[in-house]
Amino acid sequence: MRRWAWMLVMCWPCLVGGASRDFNGTTDLINIGSAANLDNHTALTYTAWVYVEGGGENNLGEIYTKSPAGGTTKQFRIENRGGAEQTNSLDMAIVTSGTSRQARAATDSLSFNAWHFVVTNWPGSSAPKLFIDGAEPPYATQTNGTGTDTSEANDSGIIGNRGNADRTFDGQMAYVSIHNASLSVVEQEELRYHALSIPNGIVAALPLWGNASPEVDLSGTGNAGTLTGTAESANGPPVMIGGYHSP
């Protein structure tokens, strides 16, 4: 009964307009606050559908960060700086007292101007992983780092940017979920085609459709998003709500 009740709630986007939120690459963000259930996860999974139109502000378009005003403590982002870094890549990092925990995909792992389901998964005991459309990409960097994680108890959770608003995502985004658990590959694949459907460790489930303000959180944990900019977009990812979609 609980499972089907969840599915019924998830059918709501079938009834409203707008399939994603558009981030302008310069100023937009959605701030979901810093409730205790968002803080200092010892294992985590972040997921999102993204349609990347450019590398983002400063070629570091953030998907989700835990972020004070002047930096980040956890970040999941597009990496497009080139040079000694990567281009057309996906990056995740957790700041520690020593060497940061990090996973960065190899150059050209992520194509632009197409929908992709992106995931970062950190089990706590080993290095974080990345997944793009269900597959783990080759890595330019992957390490579990050293030291203890920097506390983020006072840092806001921000979709599409970081605290000082200088890494705006460029493109459309939909179905962002934040979990305080390391999801299995099977659970990740269910989320890929059955948006926001996995309750394991869920602390935020933001569909990013329609033009509602604040952005609704369907997880039941109260982490609705305060909007700065973002526009409703009819461009949406290939998912089914309330049922499975065959790839």
Who contacts 18 (Cβ-Cβ below 8 Å, separation ≥6)? 209, 210, 211, 232, 233, 234
Q: For position 240, what pLDDT does the model report?
A: 67
Q: How many CB atoms lie within 10 A of CB 78?
A: 28
Q: For position 69, what pLDDT does the model report?
A: 75
102 is written with which tokens? 């990090």
Beta strands in 53-149 (DSSP E): 62-67, 74-79, 89-94, 101-105, 115-122, 129-132, 139-143
Query: Which residues lie across from 226 on neighbouring strands?
Result: 31
> Structure pTM?
0.91
**Residue-level pLDDT, tens digit, the chain, 247 residues:** 334 334 434 444 443 335 999 999 999 999 999 999 999 999 999 999 999 999 999 999 999 999 887 788 999 999 999 877 899 999 999 999 999 999 999 999 999 999 999 999 999 999 999 999 999 999 999 999 999 999 999 999 999 999 999 999 999 999 999 999 999 999 999 999 999 999 999 999 999 987 888 999 999 999 999 999 999 999 999 986 543 333 3
Who contacts 135 (Cβ-Cβ below 8 Å, separation ≥6)? none
Q: For position 212, what pLDDT does the model report?
A: 81
Rounded (10°) CA dihedral 49, 14, 177, 185: -70
